[in-house]
Amino acid sequence: MIKLATSLFSFAYEWNSGAYTLESTIAKTRELDLGSGLEIIGFQSLKGFPYITEQQVSEVRHLLEKYEFEPVCLDTNVDVGIRRNGILSIDETVDYILPQLDAARRLGFPMIRVQMTAKPEVMRKLVSYAEKANVKLGMELHTPYQVDHPAVLALRELYQEIDSPYLGFIPDMGTCMRNIPDALLTSFKSVGVTDEMIAITKEIWQKNVPMPSKFGELFERVSALGGTPPQIGRLNMAFSMNGRQPIEMWKEVMPQVIHIHGKFYGFDENGDEPSIDYATILKTFHESGYSGYIASEYEGSAFTDKFDAFDQVAKQHQLFKKIISTL
């Protein structure tokens, strides 16, 4: 059966407000019974990451034990553009990830989240380190990286060649959405985007055409309405952040799925997520034999501070439990 977890990414707004410590965040997550697993974002939650002290390691391990959470995933970053004078090379990218991998080992996390900026050559070089650390490398498949994206296909080919249990995928459910979230659309109005421009954006988003074609049509039609480059740039986010991959396509990579990111933006009056079809998603993964964790990942706070993130995650867990009870 699919298990429930929470990613501390969900509480980024609350964390940045300074109102919460790492312990109080984890304590409230337990108080609200938000799953048995916990996902932590290294650079968000741990000062000095990835070069953390033994005191930090002891603290995190203590908190996980005290509040009875299973460590599920440590999210790492692959910031290949961190330098002003160029992109990190393959070896430099490996060196950038290795301390983060070691931090996961020390903290007791069985896997790290890796981003698509880590090329197949990087993953090839990391495998031996992952095996020695006993920490899996979970590549996040986040929009626009559908399972049939050329970069993902290259990675799938590498996975098949190496055939290591330490290489896996972490599907992000923002890749297979049924609508653009209202929170995102409403946020566009802050730069003067009109309802007509939003309607055009929603129409184009539904089309089964390559993303560059969507960008081109949006530019032409919104420019004709007087749309400015900043406004069009914001509207482009609707295409780049919200994928339309058919849910059943996840089956192609299911044998390599080691974790799931339960991205969500909000709920309607019936407690459902209007932009993501979780009933079909959970049924698809369950029937395909997946029995790992799905971690709640609230992203609505990136566009509005109207809702309490803890309350939003609690609502998602209520929805998940309702769906899982029928599987």
Q: What is the pLDDT of residues 102-132, one digit of tens each?
A: 999 999 999 999 999 999 999 999 999 999 9
Q: Which of 62, 142, 149, 261 is catalytic?
A: 142
Q: Which residues contact 193 (CB under 8 A, 6 or more apart)?
A: 227, 231, 234, 235
Helix or strand holding residue 296 (H, E): strand 293-298
Average pLDDT for residues 237-253, to the nearest whole number? 96
* % of the chain surpassing 90 pLDDT: 94
For residue 167, what are the contacts with CB-CB under 8 A and spacing of at least 6?
123, 127, 130, 136, 137, 139, 158, 159, 256
Domain ranges in the chain? 3-180+242-324, 182-239
Q: What pLDDT score was predicted for residue 244? A: 96
Task: State the CB neighbour count (10 A cutoff) for residue 271.
Answer: 11
Band of residue 168 on the pLDDT scale cut at 50, 70, 90: very high
Region 291-320: mean pLDDT is: 95
Percent of the chain with pLDDT over 70: 100
Closest CA to 264 of 294, 234, 239: 294
Instruction: Let me know if 142 is a catalytic residue.
Output: yes
Is residue 306's pLDDT more than 90? no
Which tens digits make up the pLDDT trace of 203-226? 999 999 988 999 999 999 999 999
Fold of 3-180+242-324: TIM Barrel (3.20.20)
Mean pLDDT, to the nearest integer, of 279-289?
98
Q: Given this model, what pLDDT does residue 117 score?
A: 97
Nearest-angstrom CA–CA distance, 167 and 130? 9
Give the pLDDT confidence score for residue 302 in this predicted structure. 85
